[in-house]
Amino acid sequence: MAATHDVIIIGLGGMGSAAAHHLAARGLGVLGLERYGPAHNRGSSHGGSRIIRQAYFEDPAYVPLLLRSYELFEKLERDTGRRIATLCGGTMIGNSGSRVFAGSLRSARQWDLPYEVLDAAEVRRRFPTLTPAEDEWALYEQRAGLVRPEATVAAHIQLALGAGADLRFEEPAVRWEVLEGGRGVRVYTADEVHTAEHLVVCPGAWAPELLADVGVPFTVERQIMYWFHPHGGTGPFDPERQPVYVWEDAEGTQIYGFPAIEGPEGGAKVAFFRKGSVCTPQTIDRTVHDEEVAAMAAQLRPRIPRLPGRLRKAVTCMYTTTPDEHFVLARHPVHPDAVTVACGFSGHGFKFVPVVGEIVADLVQDGTTGHPITLFDPRRRSAAPAAAEEHALEETAR
């Protein structure tokens, strides 16, 4: 049996790598286990860019975490010298009653965030690539933008290793168990058995396998990210001219997209927001089909006429979500003295990566955190998003 550690972390993607950094920086002996290589493209923490924003349409309760996350992204850049964030601004577009526009406006007002409301004509004037309909509005947030997921993961790995963490790649955890008495854990890989005082499980799309007893049903979905060469070139999509955007149509379908951050040959990335097909990590179809490209192109043409242009590439990733679309971030409800869980983030989680790492470190060390995370308790009633939203508002008001 391998030596005992203070903490074992299963999964070193976005959340697990951040947890490894924060725990190791606090002087704990950390063993990290990852089934693939560092900053890999087989899960959810890849694709070159993720939107960051503060006027959060999902729920105002997230805003304090976002403010702290922004601080930690800036610190991560300073500490590693890596370029991680680009604050190019962001437009949240939809009709006046849409979740994207109305929800963003609600969060901005509740937390006194800086923002502008733009009508369709003003959006077209300021951002000529975007052509909203006359009844659509945009909340513009100057502090919105993007972060680079692979660079973020690599930065956290760099800092964790520098603080003494033992990070093992291509070494997946097969199963784990809590030791008799409920304190301490044993984790099995193909070749070794590791023990620790505490376990952190950040499994991404492997949550249904590794956290079956947490009491939350997880759904894993196949998602597609597309990169198109705009008609006439990428100049108008330069980050100095093109904001990130989330756009909701009258039927509630949402797309999101980015400026062209990879240079003239890189294209502009776009994707549907939560319009995937159920899969597992073992059964996901990694091929992107012609009809899927056509569906994305049809959504783009009336809204961003310079797109779709020519498809440069399209790749798949996986979302792992809960019924109410909120995270699971807490001590394990069955094994609170030995296990912390961080999962169910997909669709809107990457912007929280650094603060989740900080929260996990708090939970491991102290069993609690000063950050507002009651919304993410796995014991919440999560059958309906409306009920969870009401709970979130109550938490925010406290």
CA dist., res. 261 & res. 220, Å (int): 28
- The chain-wide mean pLDDT, for the chain, equals 94
CA dist., res. 184 & res. 339, Å (int): 8
Count Cβ atoms within 10 A of the Cβ of residue 193 and give its class: 0-12 exposed, 13-18 middle, 19 or more buried.
Answer: exposed
Q: Does residue 381 have a pLDDT over 80?
A: no
For the domain spanning 5-45+150-216+324-376, the CATH number is 3.50.50.60
Give the pLDDT of residue 382. 53
Regarding the domain with residue range 50-147+219-321, which homologous superfamily does it belong to in the CATH classification? Answer: D-Amino Acid Oxidase, subunit A, domain 2 (3.30.9.10)
Task: Count CA within 13 A, CB hemisphere, residue 304.
Answer: 32
Phi, psi at 326, each rounded to 5°: -100, 160
Q: Could you report the per-residue pLDDT of 58-109, keeping only the tens digit for each?
A: 999 999 999 999 999 999 999 999 999 999 999 999 999 999 999 999 999 9
Domain ranges of the chain: 5-45+150-216+324-376, 50-147+219-321
CA dist., res. 65 & res. 320, Å (int): 20
347, amino acid identity: G
Compute the average pLDDT of residues 190-217. 96
Q: What percent of the chain has pLDDT over 70?
A: 95
CA dist., res. 355 & res. 349, Å (int): 11
Give the pLDDT of residue 113. 98
Supply angle C-alpha 60, 66, 68, rounded to 5.
Answer: 130
Q: What percent of the chain has pLDDT over 90?
A: 91
Give the DSSP H or E segment for 349: none
Q: Which of 2-11, 138-147, 173-182 has the highest mean pLDDT?
A: 138-147
Give the pLDDT of residue 265. 80
Compute the average pLDDT of residues 41-48. 94
Q: Does residue 286 have a pLDDT over 90?
A: yes
DSSP one-letter string for 267-304: -EEEEESS--EE--TTT---PPPHHHHHHHHHHHTTT-
Q: Does residue 4 have a pLDDT over 90?
A: no
Give the pLDDT of residue 264. 79
pTM: 0.93
Contact 137, 100 (CB under 8 A): no
Q: Does residue 390 have a pLDDT over 50?
A: no
Compute the average pLDDT of residues 113-121. 98
Give the DSSP H or E segment for 44: none
Give the pLDDT of residue 3. 61
Instruction: Check the CA dihedral 35-37-41-45 and report its sign.
Output: positive
Compute the average pLDDT of residues 305-316. 94
Look at phi and psi of residue 270 and say left if phi exceeds 0, alpha if psi is from -120 to 50, else beta: beta
Closest CA to 8 of 161, 209, 190, 184: 184
